[in-house]
Amino acid sequence: MDQRECCGCGICAAACPHGAVRMAVDWEGFAYPRVDPHACTGCGRCREVCPVGRSNGAIERPPRCFGAQAKSERDRTGSSSGGVFPVLAREILDEGGVVFGAAMGPDGTVRHQEARTPEELELLRKTKYVQSELSGCCRQVLERLREGRTVLFTGTPCQCQAVKKYAGGAENLLLADLVCYGVPSPGIWRKYIKELEKQYHGNFEGFAFRDKRAGDNGHTAAVCISGMEYAWPLEQDQFCEAYFRNYILRPSCFSCQFCSVERESDLTIGDFWGIERVRPEWDDGMGTSLVVVHSEKGAELWASVKERVRYFECREEDLMQPRLQSPTPHPGRRRALFLGLCRILPLNTAMRILRKLD
């Protein structure tokens, strides 16, 4: 398999009617499908649902673009950007629907899971710079759709496209994809957790990638180890530095087909980077969300929550940022060098070696 052509969503394993596909982790810490030739019947279902290199059809309507902030300070403070996701999600819950999104477990594993209550929704909030496990919840998505419930699924663009294919375009499915920089290795993340536990002499209990305590648009990282919290600037975090140097991104992210404003989801949400240029009076250090509405279903959901957000409509060029124009660039040989070093050295040592090459 060409690793550049697999986004690791696991939808092929979830969709296989014969259980012939399983996800196996490679030495970089990413999961790829492995097919049991004795169980495979050649039905082609795995190829039908694969989101890479395939489209469901034409874009439904020209996108409309907005900048937004939740009116609730709690929603803004507890979110990585402007707090739009919890506003959208609670609207779905209030209608008797369910929400699926990425949650971090107490061991640091990031998986997609279902939320039916506001309390469960809390686990889906905030940024997780780790590729989430998706396949485990796919059957739940189908079950809720068949029950007639409205389902809001949020995830990376490739995950949303996979779920759309898997669900067959169900009318009660709403997809909110994210402006995605790329997904980092879950294997390297697990290694980092062990190093934090060793450094702080305890058990990992949680991590915040985008904490807003400093009023700096979420540029603080914080970890909880055995009931104690430790925080530092995001740019000083070893895992995040490797992430933003592009060393630990999945190979397919460097050729991502979803890096544009035009998408097949219902909504796109993310950070409104550049708000200080477009609306400087909105730049209070607590985050602003961008919202791109792609479909009629997305427009209906957005209209239903407008009273709970401050917003302004803008042009595409106002919210344009690199990952809405092109994939994250490959860092060249340094990626393989860094990942190789991580097999035998702590992250901070591997990063220190790479910095000397700058």
> CA neighbours within 13 Å on the CB side: how many for 94?
9
Closest CA to 81 of 316, 239, 291, 278: 291
Return d(Cα 137, Cα 238) in angstroms, integer.
31
- Single-letter amino acid code for the residue at 160: C
Which tens digits make up the pLDDT trace of 216-244?
888 999 999 999 999 999 999 999 999 99
Chain centroid to CA 67: how far?
20
> How many C-beta neighbours within 10 Å does residue 311 have?
19
The whole-angstrom distance between residue 49's C-alpha and the CA centroid of its chain comes to 19
CA distance 346 to 121: 34
Identity of the amino acid at 94: D
CA dist 200 and 209 (Å) reads 18
Asked whether 134 and 13 are in contact (CB, 8 A), the reply is no
pLDDT computed for residue 54 by the predictor: 59
**Cα 205 vs. chain centroid, distance in angstroms?**
21
CA–CA separation, 218 and 191 (whole Å): 24
What's the confidence (pLDDT) of residue 221?
Answer: 95
* φ, ψ at 248 (rounded to 5°): -120, 20
The answer to whether 314 touches 67, Cβ cutoff 8 Å, is yes
**Residue 126: left (phi > 0), alpha (psi -120 to 50), or beta?**
left
Low-confidence ranges of the chain (pLDDT < 50): none
CA–centroid distance for 14 within its chain = 19
The pTM is what? 0.95
Question: What's the pLDDT tens digit per position in 103-132?
Answer: 999 999 999 999 999 999 999 999 999 999
Spatial distance between the Cα atoms of 83 and 103, rounded to a whole number of angstroms: 17
Q: What's the confidence (pLDDT) of residue 214?
A: 87
pLDDT of residue 340: 96
Number of H helices, E strands in the chain: 14, 13
Q: Which amino acid is at 242?
A: A
Distances (CA, A) of 123 to 75, 105, 248: 13, 9, 25
